[in-house]
Amino acid sequence: MRLTKKTHACIRLEKDGRTLVIDPGTFSERDAALGADAVLVTHEHPDHFDEERLRAAMEANPGAEIFTLRSVAEKIAAAFPGRVHTVGHGDAFSAAGFQIQAHGELHAVIHPDLPRVTNVGYLVDGSVFHPGDALTVPAHPVETLLLPVQAPWSKISEVIDYVREVKPQRVIDVHDALLTDLARPIYDTHIGNLGGADHARLASGEAADV
């Protein structure tokens, strides 16, 4: 697969001439989902789900489909009958020629006073795992972990321990729009030295084979 990092939590995966996009939210480029054959959305928060970006992708490609949990599907399914599919923990399905497994049920705790929304992570082709906003450990080996490195709900020790628990071959940063360039080397050093996996950081638009 060819993985292209977009801003924040969004990535594009390409294989055999088809494109899968995960989490094109408001922090991502306005065209982040354009050209997608399928879009996966992990949860309803706007930095992961933006209805305008999804509509643009669906209108540009009449064959495009969306796979997401119920809270997101309910917001957009009426506009695209038969093209928006509700998925949840334990489901396995095919999207744009990729084999997907869904893992996880709830968003990480931001604060005990705030209700937790649903969240599902996606394991793509048994290799690349995007957890959304949770530290879900899939019941399956992971080669490439897309690591949410900075969020209101996390701290660096939890992020490092998550890498250790998943035990991927490599880690690529996501969920990083709130992290300043000044702080980047601190995160790079700690994750690289303590996580136990190869650690990579891609700029927006930069790609790697995984």
User: CB burial class (10 A; 0-12, 13-18, 19+) of residue 49?
Assistant: buried
- pTM higher than the cut 0.95: yes
The reported pLDDT for the residue numbered 199 is 97
pLDDT, position 194:
98
- 21, 89, 97, 113, 186 from 6: Cα distances, Å: 10, 25, 21, 32, 22
Q: Which residues of the chain have pLDDT under 50?
A: none
What is the per-residue pLDDT for 73?
Answer: 98
Structure confidence by residue, pLDDT tens digits, 177-203: 999 999 999 999 999 999 999 999 999
At 141 the pLDDT is: 96
| DSSP assigned state of 174 | E
What's the pLDDT at 31?
Answer: 96
Write the CATH number of the domain with boundaries 2-203: 3.60.15.10
